[in-house]
Amino acid sequence: MSVINAFRSIIVLAPLLCGSAFALEQPIVVSFADQPINKFNQKLELAQHQKRNWSKQPESISAHYAGNRFQLAKVKQYQGKVVTYNVSAAKGKHPKMLLIISMEKQRDNWILDAARLTWQCENGLHFGTDRCSNNH
């Protein structure tokens, strides 16, 4: 992954609302790291062929990719794609993370276009890929 692909210019996201413990209001994402999607897309294609329940809707596909540390915050339609925003709470030395997944339907099957991870350091004003200080 090149530095150009890993770090992006300022992107302002629409408001994200979910449970009070994960509430985000208009987070500013200044950079993100692209996450691997090829192996997941292979797994997703097989699951769709086998008609597995998790592979039928964007919300459950997103949850399957994100894992149990994340909670779905918002689902949005954008330029013909479905974009999901998943948030994890800050725990101990781990910062609050935001996982943004973009997917589209191709020939009646879903496929991930991108998965991008960014985080918010303690007392941070934005989400980015900066190193967080472990000093609390």
Q: Fold for domain 15-23+30-120?
A: Nuclear Transport Factor 2; Chain: A, (3.10.450)
Instruction: Please indicate whether residue 96 or residue 18 has the higher confidence score (pLDDT).
Output: 96
Q: CB count, 10 Å around CB of 22?
A: 18
Q: Residue 123 — left, alpha, or beta (φ > 0 → left; ψ -120 to 50 → alpha)?
A: left
**131 neighbors 122 (Cβ within 8 angstroms):** no
Tokens 């449970």 belong to residue: 19
Domain ranges of the chain: 15-23+30-120
Q: What is the pTM of this model?
A: 0.76
Residue 19 has pLDDT above 70, yes or no: no
- CA nearest 95: which of 68, 48, 130, 55? 130
User: 11 versus 46: which is more confidently predicted?
Assistant: 46
pLDDT digits (tens, 9 = 90+) for 47-85: 999 999 999 999 999 999 999 999 999 999 988 899 999
pLDDT one-digit tens code per residue, 76-127: 998 889 999 999 877 777 788 899 999 999 999 999 999 999 888 877 777 8
